[in-house]
């Protein structure tokens, strides 16, 4: 029987204390993320009996209700229609956000900022990655030969998003920080303007940078193709400049002067003065991470595969997004993808071991509903609804991710794109590393499944829940 979004929305709202108790509501790929006016009105136990809710947890000041990919959009749409929540286009900026951010640490604010900027971009990158996979399937899997014209068209489909990634980032950053998104698009286009020397041509000695005299020094200026952090900085800076200009420029001149001032000063500061410094920092960070993943004996993959889900608990895994995007934009490959896939497979294996222990058919069915999305690359339902509250399965899930991630590093496999993991990610390995990728998934899943199967019993659940409360309170 299909789940009823309207019925689920009303029951979730009641468990949250009613519409009057909602301060702010948003959603990600799998969860409703809610801030309440009075946490005492929350009825946690009610979520267990709502058909369609896979789990609930509290993190970083937000009550998060796991509904699953696709279904969360339908439930959120009902809440928007009934005036309980604001649509994504209307929320995410303004004084409320500034006030709430003051209650969070600098790391939490940075992590949330990266998440808010890159989550809207991810669907485009996933689609682009799958298109790369389809082309690989046609060329390498079926042995098709494409004409030069058709090949160019496929390159338009697969390369455009990464070539102009600064445009997507500045648009999203402007939207996040309360500026005009269309100005963000214009700034992003300026970063990759054809009039500027291409960054890669300069890097490989095929072109010379522009030299701008400044205080007795020549500042080299190039385009910022595939650059991420400079685009984030440009979006943040432009939003600040635009807000400041609107406060000072008379309303009659606002339409003309505000965009002019924003574009002029953002370009000078972002592209000429501060941008090159941030670009250098970005290159240094990327080089360090690449070195880490190339450590001998798969050590880098082992550490990342085991630790990434700990970062996911705090939301800090979103800081990896800019790195993977830049990696694919510059090299065409994503070294982190198979290791992240191993981490997801580890959690799936642990959750599967727990679900098979359940004697209650309804409870077992709900658990399988949380496990299935993991095989599509979405780990939050199985991790937050099953493994993390029981502690031990989560630990064994991380162990599976570590073993699988180490194997991926030893094998040296990489995805020909980014965004897709687990079964959808198979398309990214056609022609290079396909069977090794499957082996990594099997090893990670089997390690966590067997470890959980032998070391965890459902009778330990009450003890594990008590331990989890201690972890959250510390």
Q: Does any domain span residue 431?
A: yes
Domain final residue, candidates 221, 256, 282: 282
> Helix or strand or coil: residue 56?
strand
Contact 330, 226 (CB under 8 A): yes
Q: Does any domain span residue 348?
A: yes
Same domain, yes or no: 261 and 341: no
CA–CA distances in Å: residue 275 to residues 223, 237, 266: 11, 11, 10
Same domain, yes or no: 369 and 444: yes
DSSP string for residues in 178-196: TS-HHHHHHHHHHHT-TTS
Contact 245, 263 (CB under 8 A): no
- Split into its structural domains, the chain has a count of 3
Same domain, yes or no: 393 and 466: yes
Phi, psi of 77 (to 5 degrees): -60, -40
Contact 448, 350 (CB under 8 A): yes
DSSP code, position 453:
H
Q: Does any domain span residue 144?
A: no
- Structural domain including 419 reads 294-473
Which helix (H) or strand (E) segment is 158 a member of?
Answer: helix 148-163
How many angstroms separate the CA atoms of 425 and 414, rounded? 11
Q: Does any domain span residue 118?
A: no
Phi, psi of 463 (to 5 degrees): -65, -40
CATH number of the domain where residue 72 is located: 3.30.1360.60
Residue 80 is encoded by which pair of tokens? 């928007």
> Helix or strand or coil: residue 210?
strand
Same domain, yes or no: 80 and 177: no
Domain final residue, candidates 91, 126, 153: 91
Same domain, yes or no: 258 and 379: no
Q: Does any domain span residue 231?
A: yes
Q: Does any domain span residue 21?
A: yes
Same domain, yes or no: 11 and 49: yes
CA–CA distances in Å: residue 398 to residues 58, 309, 426: 21, 7, 22
CB burial of 361-396 (b: ≥16 within 10 Å; e: otherwise) equals eeeeebbebbbbbbbebbbbbbbbbbbbbbbbbbbb
Same domain, yes or no: 402 and 253: no
Residue 57 is encoded by which pair of tokens? 């947890």
Same domain, yes or no: 269 and 370: no
Q: Does any domain span residue 129?
A: no
Phi, psi of 217 (to 5 degrees): -115, 155
Same domain, yes or no: 330 and 442: yes
Same domain, yes or no: 277 and 306: no
Same domain, yes or no: 247 and 343: no
pLDDT by residue for the chain (474 residues), tens digit each? Answer: 567 889 989 999 999 998 888 888 888 767 888 988 888 899 888 887 788 887 788 876 788 888 877 788 889 989 888 888 776 544 444 444 444 454 555 666 777 777 788 878 878 877 887 787 788 778 777 778 888 888 888 888 888 888 888 899 999 999 999 999 999 999 999 888 888 888 777 767 788 888 888 777 777 888 887 778 888 888 999 999 999 999 899 888 888 899 999 999 988 887 777 777 787 777 787 778 878 888 888 899 999 999 888 877 766 666 677 777 777 777 778 888 999 999 999 999 999 999 998 887 777 877 887 888 889 888 878 888 788 888 899 999 999 999 999 999 999 998 887 778 898 888 888 778 889 999 999 999 999 999 999 988 875 444 444 544 444 444
Q: Does any domain span residue 154?
A: no
Same domain, yes or no: 221 and 307: no
């Amino acid at each position: 029987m299909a789940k009823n979004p309207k019925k689920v929305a009303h029951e979730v709202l009641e468990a949250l204390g009613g519409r009057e108790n909602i301060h702010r509501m948003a959603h990600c790929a799998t969860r409703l993320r809610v801030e309440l006016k009075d946490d005492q009105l929350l009825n946690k136990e009610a979520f267990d009996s709502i058909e369609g809710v896979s789990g609930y947890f509290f993190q970083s000041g937000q009550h998060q209700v796991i509904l699953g990919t696709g279904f969360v959009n339908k439930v959120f749409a009902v809440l928007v229609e009934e005036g309980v929540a604001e649509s994504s286009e209307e929320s995410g900026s303004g004084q409320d956000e500034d006030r709430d951010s003051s209650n969070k640490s600098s790391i939490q604010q940075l992590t949330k900022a990266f998440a808010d900027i890159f989550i809207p971009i991810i669907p485009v990158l996933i689609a682009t990655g799958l298109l790369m996979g389809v082309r690989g399937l046609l060329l390498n899997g079926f042995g098709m030969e494409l004409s030069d014209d058709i090949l160019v068209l496929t390159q338009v489909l697969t390369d455009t998003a990464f070539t102009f990634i600064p445009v997507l980032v500045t648009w999203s950053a402007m939207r996040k920080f309360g500026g005009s998104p269309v100005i963000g698009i214009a700034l992003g286009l300026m970063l990759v303007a054809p009039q500027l020397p291409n960054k890669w041509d300069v890097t490989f000695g095929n072109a010379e940078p522009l030299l701008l005299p400044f205080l007795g020094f020549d500042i080299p200026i190039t385009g910022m193709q595939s650059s991420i952090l400079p685009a984030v900085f440009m979006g943040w800076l432009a939003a600040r400049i635009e807000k400041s200009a609107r406060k000072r420029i008379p309303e009659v001149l606002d339409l003309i002067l505000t965009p002019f001032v924003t574009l002029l000063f953002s370009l000078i500061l972002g592209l000429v003065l501060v941008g090159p410094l941030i670009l250098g920092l970005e290159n240094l960070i990327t080089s360090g991470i690449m070195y880490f993943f190339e450590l001998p004996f798969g050590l880098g993959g082992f550490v990342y595969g085991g630790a990434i889900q700990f970062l996911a608990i705090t939301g800090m895994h979103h800081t990896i997004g800019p790195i993977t995007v830049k990696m694919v934009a510059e090299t065409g490959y994503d070294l982190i993808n198979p290791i992240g896939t191993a981490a997801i497979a580890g959690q799936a294996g642990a959750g599967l071991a727990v679900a098979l222990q359940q004697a209650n058919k309804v409870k077992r069915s709900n658990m399988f509903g949380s496990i299935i999305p993991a095989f599509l690359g979405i780990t939050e339902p199985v991790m937050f609804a099953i493994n993390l509250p029981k502690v031990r399965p989560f630990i064994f899930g991380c162990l599976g991710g570590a073993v699988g991630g180490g194997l991926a590093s030893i094998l040296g496999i990489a995805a020909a794109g980014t965004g897709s993991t687990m079964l959808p990610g198979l398309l990214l390995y056609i022609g290079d590393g396909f069977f090794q990728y499957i082996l990594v998934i099997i090893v990670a899943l089997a390690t966590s499944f067997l470890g959980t199967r032998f070391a965890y019993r459902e009778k330990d659940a009450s003890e594990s829940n008590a331990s989890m409360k201690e972890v959250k309170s510390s």
